[in-house]
Amino acid sequence: MSFHVYDTTLRDGAQQEGMNLSVTDKLAIAPLLDELGVGFIEGGWPGAVPKDTEFFARARSELTLKNAVLAAFGATRKVGVKVEEDPQVRALLDSQAPVVTLVAKSDVRHVERALRTTAEENLAMIADTVRFLAGEGRRVFVDAEHFFDGYRFDRAASLAAVEAAFDAGAEVVALCDTNGGMLPGWVGDIVAEVRDAVGPDRLLGVHAHNDTGCAVANSLAAVEAGASHVQGTVNGYGERTGNADLITVVANLELKHGRALLAGRGLAEASRIAHAISELTNISPYARQPYVGASAFAHKAGLHASAIKVDPDLYQHIDPRAVGNDMRMLISDMAGRASIELKGRELGFDLAGQGDVLSRVTNRIKDAEANGYTYDAADASFELILREEVTGERPAYFTVESWRSIVERTGSRGSETASEATVKLRAGGERIVSTGEGNGPVNALDQALRQALGRVYPEIEKFELIDFKVRILDQTHGTDAITRVLIETTDGEQSWSTVGVGPNLLEASWEALTDSAIFGLLKAGVSPR
């Protein structure tokens, strides 16, 4: 029996709080899902959601899928309505999607209280709709909504809904943990019982939500018990606490159980695709996401580094390259010489046998972190330190004479506030004075620095600050506390992070901003002028 990997990022995932995908967004995400190698992409609910109706209409001419089949989502016919006259059922046909996934009630309490009808009518609604769509040449999948809760309440009623769908011609019935309240043992037992009841030739699936934090584990338990169709979303998107993270589920099945589930390069592209979809959804990637997160193979403790230096597999459960990720060494006050050496190798510096350099860098990092710096998330600042210790100097793109940033408010409370900064520096053999205005004193300082450097280094015009984080380190000192700033900058192709620490926000920001400019010019291959 074949195994289905079914993605519902564009439909169920799009219900996540704060996510609002346009039709264009969906048309951009769908090819990425196809490139991942999933078998089915659920595009949305045509007829019920206008944007989804438009998506399927545009997909016919704008979307070419190599690996996946497009699925339209909808509901069974309404109570007391003939299936061929139900407008939403007709909309499913009009979408021209080759697969239609129907949501059907499988908890008798929902039938009686939400649909306000009888169990018999619900079974007729399921059978009529499946039979009609199958008769129109569609492959029909059924999502048995609230199945696990319903089964625990009334086993016979829930099984009857599943059997009605199969008997009417459904290719798949996915058992849904709609409320997300199940635990793996419960899911495994129930799927095994349903498998015995419906027979071995009928294709059962699982659709898990993550309200107990067990969506991935529940999906795996269902597969172990006989499910051969698994649904989920990339990055675990979905309402409340989300759906099962499809990449994590598939990675576990492929890399731990030896199943080949994805088409094409599959998991080898998983990290890139997960992050690309994060950009399109405008939801920041979760660094600690299994397999594809930036921290999934990041090592901090010196003890780990010593072992990894001998054999990376000693502290990694898989080769990161299997999912398109990479090992990273984090530099912190926990770092020993082995960590520094491995991080240097990652950045292109061979420090083997250079004990004096390793000692200097290690001591410098530990002293800096004792004063509030952190290099876990500031690789660019660390690389500048490393270059300085290896070569004996820091790239001299400019020298700063002075800088200042002021905030001025005129009039009463609630009136407009103006921020202005002035930077004086030397670069390219000339003295440059630049004034910038911005939305706050840090933004004004950033603008002034960019304007000054742009006269000598036009390459800096491509740099854009994309993240800014502030941390008060010794809060008991109140307004006299030490401030740490982390900023992330991009040139449109890659991004880098720098750190600054100071007695106030402006001094910490200035250090991080200047580090960012120096590192960006260095990475762009620009020589000091």
pLDDT in tens, 415-439: 678 899 999 999 999 999 999 999 8
pLDDT of residue 333: 44
pLDDT in tens, 100-128: 999 999 999 999 999 999 999 999 999 99
| Residue 276 confidence class, pLDDT cut points 50, 70, 90 | confident
Of 108-122, 212-226, 351-365, 414-428, least confident by mean pLDDT is: 351-365
399-409 vs 203-208, strand pairing mode: unpaired
Q: Is the pLDDT of residue 138 over 90?
A: yes
Residues 154/114, Cβ–Cβ less than 8 Å: no
Total Cβ atoms within 10 A of residue 220? 25
CA distance 241 to 78: 30
Q: Is the pLDDT of residue 478 over 90?
A: no
pLDDT in tens, 453-471: 999 999 999 998 888 888 8
| Residue 278 confidence class, pLDDT cut points 50, 70, 90 | confident
pTM of the full structure: 0.70
The mean of the pLDDT values for the chain is 90
Total Cβ atoms within 10 A of residue 206? 30
Q: For residues 469-485, give the mean pLDDT.
A: 72
Q: Which residue has the higher pLDDT, 205 or 356?
A: 205
pLDDT of residue 110: 97
Closest CA to 320 of 285, 278, 292: 292
- Give the residue carrying structure tokens 């996510």: 19
pLDDT in tens, 401-413: 999 999 987 766 6
Residues 203/169, Cβ–Cβ less than 8 Å: no
Of 81-90, 163-172, 471-480, least confident by mean pLDDT is: 471-480
pLDDT of residue 334: 45
Start-to-end CA span in the chain (Å): 66
CA distance 516 to 182: 47
Task: For the chain, state the CA radius of gyration.
Answer: 28
| Residue 387 confidence class, pLDDT cut points 50, 70, 90 | confident
Q: For residues 191-209, give the mean pLDDT.
A: 97
Burial of 519 per CB tally in 10 Å (0-12, 13-18, 19+) = buried
pLDDT in tens, 282-338: 787 888 999 999 788 877 655 455 555 556 677 788 998 899 887 766 554 445 566
Q: For residues 480-495, give the mean pLDDT.
A: 85
pLDDT in tens, 444-455: 999 999 999 999
pLDDT in tens, 8-30: 999 999 999 999 999 999 999 99
Q: Which residue has the higher pLDDT, 509 or 283?
A: 509
Q: For residues 264-276, give the mean pLDDT.
A: 90
**Alpha carbon 458 to its chain's center:** 34
Q: Which residue has the higher pLDDT, 481 or 390?
A: 390
pLDDT of residue 79: 96
CA distance 286 to 284: 6
Of 109-118, 149-158, 217-226, 337-346, least confident by mean pLDDT is: 337-346
Set out the domains of the chain in order of their start, with CATH numbers.
4-281 (3.20.20.70), 298-371 (no CATH), 399-523 (3.30.160.270)
Both tokens assigned to 129: 């709709």
**The one-letter amino acid at 106:** S
Residues 212/181, Cβ–Cβ less than 8 Å: yes
Q: For residues 202-224, give the mean pLDDT.
A: 98
Q: Where are the alpha helices (DSSP H) in 321-463?
A: 337-346, 355-370, 379-391, 441-454
pLDDT of residue 217: 98
pLDDT of residue 223: 98
pLDDT of residue 308: 55
Cβ contacts of 246-251, under 8 Å, gap ≥ 24? 246/5, 246/7, 246/9, 246/38, 247/36, 247/274, 247/291, 247/292, 247/323, 248/216, 248/289, 248/290, 248/291, 249/216, 249/219, 249/220, 250/5, 251/290, 251/291, 251/323
pLDDT of residue 57: 97
